Structures are given as C-alpha cells and as structure tokens.
C-alpha cells in the first residue's frame, strides 16, 4: 500500500510539473514535448529526483497506449477535406520518403558509429518517420496558421507513416537476429501493416459513428468514453491481426470525427484532454528512461547522424516524394525542415533492446540523442523558418469565452466561433449590411474583454470573436465571410438559399459570390414581378422564387433551367465585361479569388 501511495504521489508531482512546464514553452520558444522530456530527465536516476527506471518493455507498452490516444485525437481533428487534398503527397512521403530517409540515415549511422551496415540501417529505420505526437504538438502550439494543404500534408504524413517505420524496424531486427523469413514473408508483413491497419481503422471508425448515434446513453459523460473504447479497439484489433495499430487508430479517428455524431463537442474536448495527458505521460516517461551520462557518450556521433538526417536525408526524400505534387520551392523547404522526431523513434528503439540485438544500447542512446536534437532545433525554429519562407500567418487568438451546443440528439445546427481577420469580407461591416441567409444569426461578439450584444448597427472589427449560430449545411458559405483563406465550397444543383427580400444583389455578390453587379442597390425581391403571372426570376445560375415567408425569397441553384434575361427585361443584368468580373463564366462555383473584399 505504501509503495502504491508513493507511486501516486510521484505521478501527481510529475503531471503537475509537466503542466507547469507547458506554461513556459511559449516564453522560452521551446516545444512543450522538449520540456516534458526535460522534466522526466530531471526526475530520473541521474537527475534531481533520483527515480530509477529502466524497464524498456513497460515503457514500450505505455508508450504505445499513449501514442494510440494521441493519434486518435489527431484523427478526430483531421478534416476529410484535408485528407482529400493531401493524401497523395502524404502517402508518398510516408512510404517512399520514409524509405529514402531511412536508407540515407542508415548509411551515415553505419559509418559514424562504425557498426555493421544492417545495424546502421536499423537505426535509420527507427528514426526515418516523422512523429505524430511531435508534429501535432508543435503545429498546434506554434502560434502559426499555415496553408491548409501544407498543414494537412504534415499531419496526414505523420499519422500514416508509422507502418513503414514498424515494417523496417521489425524486418531488420528479424534479419539481424536470423528470425526473419523469406522475402515473401517480409512483403507480407508490409502488406499487413498497411492493408490490415487501413481496413480495420475505417471499419471500426464507421462502427463507432453508428454506435455513438444509436446507443442512446442516459449519461452524456459516457459518450467520450464510448469513443475512446472504439479507438482502443481499432488499435488492438489491427495489431492482433498483424496490421498497424497506429494507422488503424488514426483512421478510425478521422472517420468518426468527420461523421455527424451526437455530443460532438464533449467528445472532442475529452480527447483533447486525453491527448495532453498522453503527451505528458509519454515524454516524461521517456525522459525517465534516459541516462544523461550515456547520451553524452554518444553526443558527437549522435550530432553527426542528426545533421545528416535533418540537412541531407529528409530534404532529398521530400524532393523525390513531394515534388511531383505541385508544391512550391519554399513549401518543399518547409516540409523538409519539419521532419520532427519524437516518441515513436524512442519507442521503436526499445524493440532491439527487447529482441536482444547486439549493440542495441548504443543504438537506443544514439536514437534518443537524435530525437533531442530534432525536437529542439526543428521544433523551436518552426515559426522562424515559416516567417523566413513567408508561409502562413499568426494564428487567431483564443476567445475569452466559449459558446457551444452539446446535443444528445441530432440537431441541424451549431455555434461557430469566428475571428475577424483584417482582410475578411466582414471586417468593418455593420451586421445589417451582411445580408446573412436565413438559418444564420450572429449571437455574440467579444471584443477584447468586452461582451457585445449584437444589433443591426454593430460593426465588426478585425480581431473580434464572433459567435454565429447556423445550419450545418451553411457553414462552408459562412466560413468564407470570416476567413480569407477558406476554400470555396463546391455547389451542387438544387442548392437552396433563403435571403431577406431587402438584401441587395450587390450584397449577395460581394459577400457570397452569387452572380450580379458588385454594387447594385436593387433588392433581390425586386427581381420577382409583383402581382404578375410569373413569380420566378433568374440571377446568374440561380432561380429566384418567393420564400416560404413573405419577407424572404429563395435562390435555387439550377444552371440548366435558368435562361439569361435580356437587358430590357432586367436592368440588373450585368454587361459582358461585368459578368466576367462577377464570375458568371463559371456559374456553379463561388470563386473567392475573383471577388472584391467587402
């Protein structure tokens, strides 16, 4: 009992120290994962805490569980749009890129450490992949808003490249120890890692979404626990079947996070907390596992290997893997620099120790040192490199309060917190001039520490936090009002939007890209012939009809059925030059790049 109490006491102290260190990360410009490692090293057997810990098997088990929870949270927050835009370059980086990085680093390691080539290749395979825990942590605490495709590529790559690293590590351990089978057996291992991991992740993710929506739990707090159970199920089932549990749990998170689920906010907040707990436990434990004296013994060799990895192997692998996918030179440079290493290489480095590979202690210490160099140099310098390359912008500040809907049943609506960017269409506009569609309402405006109850005359200023209640289907349309970098939503035939009759055609064009003269003051309701036989009108590719309520009109996207009206019939119809500016050459898209700022 006394030993259990002591363990709980030490665990509480280490967690508190880990949380406290996160407060200093921004001030020091140091990634939080490095500070977590530092807390563990200070508490370790050669640090101030004198806690003796050298159980590599236990560290491997705890590390795998923590990584599974971190990857599940990362998958929940990865949008399907990000996956669609980045899966090709990410897949190339997570396979060809990892293989090239591992081979080049392995050659350097064999020469620097003066070990057999296979041992050097084993070290290269261990450090060849980017680390999901490190990438998610650094990208989301860096204070930067990077281009969406670049962020998505880094996150999807880091979440999906573990199977390749595990395949290389296990395969090389088998070859070194003589337990590996034929080339066919190694190929089967590769296929199982990716194939079983992917199929299990998608399947369990779909099952999780179905269960969360239909189980109808009496206690809301059980919904996040249910989601966690499916995440662990995905990891364990894939691993038992011979696949990659890491890939499975990441894909299960993506599928569940992009499904319409009840208690969505609660599930996300819970797993955000679980992921932070996993990071603290993981990196503090790995810090406890290290011995600074042993790290100093390999410091020179480890530094040379890290330099080859960071400055040669990763950049060459990125150029070969990502150049065909249209990245600009500065984006390739950034991808090359953000090949962060973290918990996965250290966890994989315990495999040779447990398998009894000769010289595995040296490999473990060298891997640990390489991870430290990568985390400190690449993690710390990420904002500096991004600014130097002129990529991204400062992230929006967190609002001083939050407003949310925790729905236990499906509701067609949500409350979204937007930050008004200086170049946003709504910046400087008063609410009554925004011509928001029916189903969208501004509920609250927070300016600094002041809460403003919105009225028609309320002006939106850059930096304001604006809470908007909206129908879920309208969110992509509203996103483009507040975010100048938001992607243009695809429009499908039959899309209906309802606007107040007094909204002008110019407002609809300026804010939403609906074709029409940019500054026309004529109300959209005037397009309908009052009292006439025909109660329809055309506005570009939209069909205008009376709304369900007398004060509203309905716009239906119907490019096939709407014929252009002559200038005599409609004075609002723009000239040919004006139509080109308004984007009528592509009637079924809202082209944000061609629209003037509001």
Single residue among 456, 487, 518 that ends a domain in this structure: 487
In whole angstroms, what is the distance from residue 323 CA to residue 175 CA? Answer: 33
Least confident of 94-108, 312-326, 366-380: 366-380
Q: How many CB atoms lie within 10 A of CB 144?
A: 18
Least confident of 183-187, 404-408, 493-497: 404-408
Q: Is the pLDDT confidence value at 587 over 60?
A: no
Write out pLDDT tens, residues 41-86. Answer: 888 877 777 787 878 888 888 888 988 998 899 889 888 877 888 8
Residue 482 domain-assigned (yes or no): yes
Residue 28 domain-assigned (yes or no): no
**Nearest partner of 49 among 59, 39, 62, 36, judged by Cα:** 39
Q: How high is the pLDDT of residue 311?
A: 93
Q: How high is the pLDDT of residue 470?
A: 87
In whole angstroms, what is the distance from residue 569 CA to residue 141 CA? Answer: 57
Q: Alpha carbon of 319 to those of 121, 332, 336, 381: distances in Å?
A: 21, 7, 8, 21
Local confidence band at 160 (pLDDT 50, 70, 90 cut-offs): confident
Least confident of 36-40, 73-77, 206-210, 252-256: 36-40
What CATH number did the domain enclosing 418 receive? 3.30.70.1450
Could you tell me the sign of the dihedral formed by the alpha carbons of 435, 439, 443, 448, in that order?
A: negative
User: What number is the average pLDDT over the span 314-331?
Assistant: 91
Residues 563 and 524 in one domain: yes
Residues 537 and 564 in one domain: yes
Residues 533 and 483 in one domain: no
Q: How high is the pLDDT of residue 562?
A: 46
Least confident of 157-166, 306-315, 555-564, 566-575: 566-575
User: What number is the average pLDDT over the span 460-489?
Assistant: 80
Q: How high is the pLDDT of residue 534?
A: 57
- Please give the structure tokens belonging to residue 271: 């797993």
Residues in a beta bridge with 419: 465
CA 217 to chain centre: 29
Residues 483 and 505 in one domain: no
Q: Which residue has the higher pLDDT, 387 or 566?
A: 387
Residue 6 domain-assigned (yes or no): no
In whole angstroms, what is the distance from residue 200 CA to residue 249 CA? Answer: 9
Residues 526 and 479 in one domain: no
Single residue among 392, 414, 441 that ends a domain in this structure: 392
- Please give the structure tokens belonging to residue 9: 């006491």
In whole angstroms, what is the distance from residue 412 CA to residue 81 CA? Answer: 21
Residues 355 and 372 in one domain: yes
Domain of residue 220 covers 53-139+148-392
Helix (H, G, I), strand (E, B) or coil at 441: strand
Q: Is the pLDDT confidence value at 315 over 90?
A: yes
Residues in a beta bridge with 500: 552
Q: How high is the pLDDT of residue 567?
A: 34
Residues 385 and 515 in one domain: no
Per the CB < 8 A criterion, the answer to whether 53 and 288 are in contact is yes
Q: How high is the pLDDT of residue 555?
A: 83
User: What number is the average pLDDT over the span 499-519?
Assistant: 75
What CATH number did the domain enclosing 69 receive? 1.20.1530.20
In whole angstroms, what is the distance from residue 47 CA to residue 50 CA? Answer: 6
- Please give the structure tokens belonging to residue 222: 């059980």
Residues 371 and 428 in one domain: no
Write out pLDDT tens, residues 214-233. Answer: 888 888 889 999 999 999 99
Residue 8 domain-assigned (yes or no): no
User: What number is the average pLDDT over the span 311-327?
Assistant: 92
H-helix or E-strand containing 189? helix 183-214
Q: How high is the pLDDT of residue 580?
A: 35
| Those residues with Cβ within 8 angstroms of residue 500's Cβ, 6 or more apart along the chain or in another chain | 435, 438, 551, 552, 553
Residue 204 domain-assigned (yes or no): yes
In whole angstroms, what is the distance from residue 497 CA to residue 553 CA? Answer: 8
Q: Is the pLDDT confidence value at 494 over 90?
A: no
Backbone φ/ψ region at 356: left (φ over 0), alpha (ψ -120 to 50), beta = left
Q: How high is the pLDDT of residue 406?
A: 61
Write out pLDDT tens, residues 123-143. Answer: 999 998 887 666 766 666 666
Residues 323 and 227 in one domain: yes
CA 451 to chain centre: 30
Q: How high is the pLDDT of residue 578?
A: 34
Alpha carbon dihedral 431, 436, 441, 447, in 10-degree steps, equals -30
Residue 9 domain-assigned (yes or no): no
Q: Is the pLDDT confidence value at 437 over 50?
A: yes
- Please give the structure tokens belonging to residue 49: 């805490």
Residues 482 and 525 in one domain: no
In whole angstroms, what is the distance from residue 15 CA to residue 587 CA? Answer: 56
Give the angle subtended at the CA of 341 by the CAs of 335 and 344, to the nearest 5°.
125
Residues 106 and 223 in one domain: yes
Residue 34 domain-assigned (yes or no): no
Write out pLDDT tens, residues 229-271. Answer: 999 999 999 999 988 888 899 999 999 998 888 888 889 989 9
> Measured in Å, how far apart are the chain's first and last C-alpha atoms?
67
In whole angstroms, what is the distance from residue 544 CA to residue 521 CA? Answer: 17
Q: How high is the pLDDT of residue 568?
A: 36
Q: How high is the pLDDT of residue 26?
A: 57
| Those residues with Cβ within 8 angstroms of residue 20's Cβ, 6 or more apart along the chain or in another chain | none
Q: Is the pLDDT confidence value at 531 over 60?
A: no
Q: How high is the pLDDT of residue 504?
A: 84
Local confidence band at 584 (pLDDT 50, 70, 90 cut-offs): very low
Single residue among 357, 392, 427 that ends a domain in this structure: 392
Domain count for the chain = 3
Alpha carbon dihedral 471, 472, 473, 475, in 10-degree steps, equals 90
User: What number is the average pLDDT over the span 410-432?
Assistant: 82
Residues 294 and 214 in one domain: yes
In whole angstroms, what is the distance from residue 413 CA to residue 183 CA? Answer: 54
Residue 89 domain-assigned (yes or no): yes
In whole angstroms, what is the distance from residue 272 CA to residue 266 CA? Answer: 10
Write out pLDDT tens, residues 336-371. Answer: 988 878 778 888 888 898 888 888 889 999 998 998
Question: What is the percent of the chain where pLDDT is above 90?
Answer: 20
Mean pLDDT of the chain: 80
What radius of gyration do the chain's Cα atoms show?
A: 28
In degrees and rounded to multiples of 5, residue 456 shows phi and psi of: -60, -30
- Please give the structure tokens belonging to residue 154: 């880094």
């Amino acid at each position: 009992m006394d030993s259990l109490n002591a363990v709980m006491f030490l665990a509480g102290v280490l967690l508190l120290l880990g949380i406290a260190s996160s407060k200093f990360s921004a001030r020091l410009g140091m990634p939080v994962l490095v500070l977590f490692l530092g807390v563990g090293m200070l508490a370790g057997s050669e640090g101030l805490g004198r806690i003796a810990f050298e159980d590599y098997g236990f560290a491997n088990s705890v590390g795998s569980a923590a990584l599974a929870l971190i990857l599940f949270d990362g998958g929940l927050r990865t949008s399907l749009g990000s996956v669609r835009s980045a899966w090709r370059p990410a897949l190339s980086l997570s396979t060809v890129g990892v293989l090239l990085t591992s081979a080049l680093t392995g050659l350097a390691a064999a020469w620097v450490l003066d070990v057999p080539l296979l041992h050097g290749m084993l070290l290269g395979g261990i450090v060849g992949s980017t680390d999901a825990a490190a990438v998610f942590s650094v990208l989301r605490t860096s204070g930067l808003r990077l281009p969406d495709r670049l962020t998505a590529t880094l996150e999807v790559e880091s979440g999906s490249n573990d199977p390749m690293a595990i395949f290389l590590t296990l395969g090389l351990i088998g070859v070194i120890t003589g337990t590996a089978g034929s080339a066919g057996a190694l190929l089967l291992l590769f296929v199982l890692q990716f194939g079983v991991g992917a199929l299990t992740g998608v399947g369990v993710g779909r099952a999780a979404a179905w269960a969360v929506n239909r189980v109808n739990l009496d206690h809301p707090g059980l919904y996040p626990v249910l989601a966690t159970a499916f995440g662990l199920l995905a990891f364990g089932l894939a691993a038992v079947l011979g696949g990659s549990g890491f890939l499975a749990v990441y894909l299960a998170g993506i599928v569940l996070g992009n499904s319409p689920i009840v208690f969505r906010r609660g599930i996300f907040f819970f797993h955000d907390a679980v992921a932070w707990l996993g990071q603290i436990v993981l990196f503090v434990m790995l810090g406890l596992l290290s011995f600074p004296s042993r790290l100093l013994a390999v410091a020179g060799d480890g530094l040379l290997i890290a330099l080859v990895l960071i400055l040669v192997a990763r950049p060459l692998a990125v150029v070969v893997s990502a150049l065909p996918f249209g990245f600009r030179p500065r984006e390739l440079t950034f991808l090359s620099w953000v090949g962060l290493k973290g918990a996965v290489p250290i966890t994989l480095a315990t495999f040779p120790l447990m398998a009894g590979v000769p010289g595995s202690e040296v490999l473990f210490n060298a891997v640990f040192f390489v991870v430290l160099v990568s985390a400190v140099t690449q993690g710390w310098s990420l904002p500096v490199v991004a600014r130097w390359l002129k990529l991204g912008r400062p992230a929006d500040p967190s609002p001083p309060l939050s407003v949310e809907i925790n729905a236990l049943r499906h509701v067609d609506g949500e409350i979204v917190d937007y930050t008004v960017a200086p170049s946003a269409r709504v910046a400087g506009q008063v609410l009554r001039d925004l011509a928001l569609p029916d189903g969208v309402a501004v509920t609250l405006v927070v300016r600094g520490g002041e809460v403003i109850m919105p009225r028609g005359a309320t002006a939106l200023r850059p930096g304001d936090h604006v809470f908007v209640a909206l129908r879920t289907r309208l969110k992509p349309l509203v996103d483009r009002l507040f975010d100048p970098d938001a992607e243009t939503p695809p429009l499908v035939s039959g899309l209906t939007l309802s606007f107040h009759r007094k909204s002008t055609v110019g407002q609809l064009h300026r804010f939403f890209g609906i074709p029409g003269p940019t500054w026309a003051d004529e109300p959209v309701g005037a397009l309908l012939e009052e009292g006439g036989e025909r109660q329809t009108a055309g506005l570009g590719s939209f069909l205008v009809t009376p709304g369900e309520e007398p004060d509203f009109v309905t716009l239906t996207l119907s490019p096939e059925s709407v014929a252009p009206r002559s200038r005599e019939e409609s004075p609002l119809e723009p000239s040919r030059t004006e139509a080109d500016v308004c984007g009528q050459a592509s009637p079924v898209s809202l082209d944000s790049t061609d629209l003037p700022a509001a």
